[in-house]
Amino acid sequence: MSNWEAVIGLEVHVQLQTASKIFSGASTAYGAEPNSQACAIDLGMPGTLPVMNAGAVEMAIRFGLAIGATVAQRSVFARKNYFYPDLPKGYQISQYELPVVIGGGLDVRQDDGSHKFVQLTRAHLEEDAGKSVHDAFHAETGVDLNRAGTPLLEIVSEPVLSSAAEAVAYLKTLHTLVRWLGVSDGNMQEGSFRCDANVSVRRRGEPLGTRAEIKNVNSFRFVEKAIDYEIERQIRLIEAGGKVVQETRLFDANKGETRSMRGKESAHDYRYFPDPDLPPLVIAAEDIERVRAAMPELPAARRQRYIDNLGLPEYDATLLTADRTVSDYFEALLATLPAQAKLCA
Ligand code: ADP
Ligand code: MG
């Protein structure tokens, strides 16, 4: 199996930390009584009109600047049409051809100290759907629409990751960054940071193989297991003379395997079109500069500063900058004990 290589691209849905929804004033607080936080706008009732949440836009700009991307001064919301019980409008408002964040990348450090620059394709703003609840009623499914309209930033990487470990290292770097920037609480149990993993395999030197997409994995450990399982499955399948089909798969954490859920839709199945209820999202250059001026020192820069200026070992610098609250605490402590960096660490 040694001449096989895996190709992985990740789509990460990050829930933005705004108090209200992306197009309405309803609360985004987690854990409320079902259906107590979905207003007429979230449900797309006739006669309502969505209004863009400026806080969500600001967070998208902050993220775009942090990854060295282009922040589009004009982007467009589109309707992504599909039928699902927890999507009462029959479409999701998302961005398609013109996303708000284009390109950029993340320098990803692995535990062995190696670095890899991971290019991003795009990040776009969209609303979340509601939730089907399967355990509230006997033999019936409930629908909780509190999550409908919650702001998401979907962050899409290029297919450049080559192992499950690398994918997890990328995810952890991204997770640290969105929390550091204050754009998301990153709470994975509550679904604020969830990942779709696209996986394909090819023999070295060959063009990209057909990918399968594993949906909604919400822990680092499960992402690693799901990708490893999927790589093995595809290699075995091809070596046995079979063909990988493009499809959506689910990871079963109990069995440690992925299973086919449905054939993969293509873009045309969604019948995307610009949402006539929303004007293009226009961001003034001054707004981008205002956000840039207020950017915090980023984790990678801070880590390097701890090593170069404070003389801390890489290990300490890495630990201290994995989480901003820890790092800020260290900074506050250091201010009271200058020149005692190692002791503070
Ligand atoms: P969608 O899944 O919405 O159809 P894209 O075609 O843009 O969207 O691809 C989504 C993700 O799939 C991206 O992260 C991309 O890097 C990854 N991807 C695309 N082709 C492959 C491939 N052959 N193998 C692995 N990942 C891939
Ligand atoms: Mg996808």
Mutation probe of ligand 1 site: the residue of 4, 120, 198 with most atoms within 8 A of C-beta = 198
Tokens matching residue 52: 């863009």
Which is the closest atom of ligand 1 to the Cα of 156?
14
pLDDT tens digits, 267-317: 788 999 999 999 999 999 999 999 999 999 999 999 999 999 999 999 999
User: How, if at all, do strands 4-15 and 193-203 pair?
Assistant: antiparallel
What is the distance in A from the centroid of ligand 1 to the CA of 212? 9
Query: Quick one: pLDDT at residue 1?
Result: 52
What is the distance in A from the centroid of ligand 2 to the CA of 9? 9
| CA distance from start to end of the chain | 44
What backbone phi and psi angles, to 5 degrees, belong to 242?
A: -85, 180
What is the distance in A from the centroid of ligand 1 to the CA of 119? 13
What is the distance in A from the centroid of ligand 1 to the CA of 331? 40
Mutation probe of ligand 1 site: the residue of 211, 216, 230, 245 with most atoms within 8 A of C-beta = 211
Q: Which ligand is nearest to the CA of 7?
A: 1
pLDDT tens digits, 140-176: 999 999 999 999 999 999 999 999 999 999 999 999 9
Residue % of the chain over a pLDDT of 90: 93
What is the distance in A from the centroid of ligand 2 to the CA of 11? 6
Half-sphere exposure of 162 (CA within 13 A, CB side): 8
CB 148 within 8 A of CB 24: no
What's the angle, vertex CA 125, arms to CA 160 and CA 89, rounded to 5? Answer: 120
Distant-in-sequence, close-in-space partners of 314: CB < 8 Å, separation ≥ 6: 113, 307
pLDDT tens digits, 241-267: 999 999 999 999 999 999 998 777 777
Q: Which ligand is nearest to the CA of 13?
A: 2
Q: Which ligand is nearest to the CA of 207?
A: 1
3-class SS string, the chain: CCCEEEEEEEEEEEECCCCECCCCCCECCCCCCCCCCCCCCCCCCCCCCCCCCHHHHHHHHHHHHHCCCEECCEECEEEEECCCCCCCCCEEEEECCCCCEECCEEEEECCCCCEEEEEEEEEEEEECCCEEEEEEECCEEEEECCCCCCEEEEEEECCCECCHHHHHHHHHHHHHHHHHCCCCCCCCCCCCEEEEEEEEEEECCCCCCCCEEEEEECCHHHHHHHHHHHHHHHHHHHHCCCCCCCEEEEEECCCCEEEEEEECCCHHHHCCEECCCCCCEECCHHHHHHHHHCCCCCHHHHHHHHHHCCCCCHHHHHHHCCCHHHHHHHHHHHHHCCCCHHHHC
Which residues have C-beta under 5 Å from ligand 2, the single-atom ion? Answer: 11
Q: Nearest to residue 60, comparing CAs of 125, 130, 134, 14?
A: 125
What is the distance in A from the centroid of ligand 1 to the CA of 100? 19
Q: Is the dihedral of CA 316, 317, 323, 328 positive or negative?
A: positive
Query: Quick one: pLDDT at residue 57?
Result: 98
Which residues are near ligand 1 (CB < 6 Å)? 7-11, 156-159, 198-200, 208-209, 211, 213
Q: Residue with the nearest Cα to atom 13 of ligand 1?
A: 9
Q: Which ligand is nearest to the CA of 212?
A: 1
What is the distance in A from the centroid of ligand 1 to the CA of 109? 23
Taking 70 as the threshold, does the pLDDT of residue 2 lie above it?
no
Query: Quick one: pLDDT at residue 113?
Result: 84
Mutation probe of ligand 1 site: the residue of 4, 7, 10, 11 with most atoms within 8 A of C-beta = 11
Distant-in-sequence, close-in-space partners of 249: CB < 8 Å, separation ≥ 6: 212, 213, 214, 215, 230, 258, 259, 260, 261
CB 202 within 8 A of CB 4: yes
